[in-house]
Amino acid sequence: MKPTQQIYSNYTENDFLVWKTLFERQMEILKPIASVEFLKALEKVKFSSEKIPDFLEVDALLQPLTGWSIETVPNISPQKEFFEFLSQKKFTSTCWLRTMEQLDYLEEPDMFHDVFAHVPLLSNHSYVNFFKGLSDIALKNIDNPKAIELLGRIYWFTIEFGLIIENDDIKVYGAGIISSKGESEFCMNKKAVLIEFDVDLIMNTDFRTDVIQEKYFVVESFEQLYNSLPEIEKQLKKVLEKELDFVL
């Protein structure tokens, strides 16, 4: 049974070795390709290869910066619970780590994905304002599966697999890339399809969760993400009204 709270003393030597191995391997790949904002955020939350993050310590650092905190959960949260926590500025995270045999692939996210890849940018105001805004829109439409599907595409191609332009270079900020060796190597490959951020196009782009992505959407800044929230709500309303007209 997976833990529902982080008991730091329960981490084993093997857990620390897994964290260290993953952290050092990813940082070697990420330093030249990761968003400067993400690299700065790692320092703000004081993450290192030598120490598995203590959620209480991380919360104490995040609270004065953006007011966000970590909510420990055993597995992926149901949609309603996930968005409710986000609207309260709480990011749901597991506290268990994969084994050495699972370094390259897991069917469900462990804390390396949740914490290493997601949590640092919770210190960035524009990023969390977008995160919360998207969750607020989702909560308004939580009983509409089509709406959640479309918002899931926005979430997937931004929070999980987004790229960003910094100083005329394309950099990585999406957590699904940040925590994945294969994804972080492929997204900078010439075979990867890079597309300018477009709300309507994203809502019409499906994805698979079990393969390396082929398409990545590129934003100009986290401010652009935040400023896209009215457009997201507008496009969502348009699609849902069209669906309703079709049914009628």
Q: Counting Cβ atoms within 10 Å, is residue 99 exposed (0-12), middle (13-18) or buried (19+)?
A: exposed
Domains of the chain: 8-247 (1.10.800.10)
- Which residue is it, tokens 């496009």? 235
- Phi-psi sector, 89: left (phi>0), alpha (psi -120 to 50), beta: left
Answer with the residue of higher pLDDT: 162 or 78: 162
pLDDT of residue 246: 52
Supply 197's token pair: 């951020």
- What percentage of the chain exceeds 70 in pLDDT? 98
Q: Please give the structure tokens belonging to residue 38.
A: 């993400």
pLDDT for the residue 248: 43
- Structure confidence at residue 194 (pLDDT): 97
For residues 97 and 77, give the distance between their C-alpha atoms in angstroms, rounded to a whole number: 17
Describe the strand order of the beta sheet including 215-219 as a list of residue ranges.
Answer: 169-172, 163-166, 215-219, 193-196
Query: Residue 103 pLDDT > 70, yes or no?
Result: yes
Q: Is the pLDDT of residue 245 over 60?
A: no
- Percent of the chain exceeding pLDDT 90 equals 84
Residue 70 neighbours by CB under 8 Å, 6+ apart:
55, 58, 59, 62, 90, 91, 92, 93, 115, 119
Confidence check: pLDDT of 217 > 90: yes
- Among 228, 81, 240, residue whose Cα is nearest residue 157: 228
Q: What's the rounded Cα separation, in Å, for the pair 117 and 45?
A: 12
Is residue 66 predicted with pLDDT exceeding 90?
A: yes
Residue 6: pLDDT above 80? Answer: yes
Burial of 186: CB neighbours in 10 Å, binned 0-12, 13-18, 19+: middle
For 37-63, the pLDDT digits (tens) are: 999 999 999 999 999 999 999 999 999
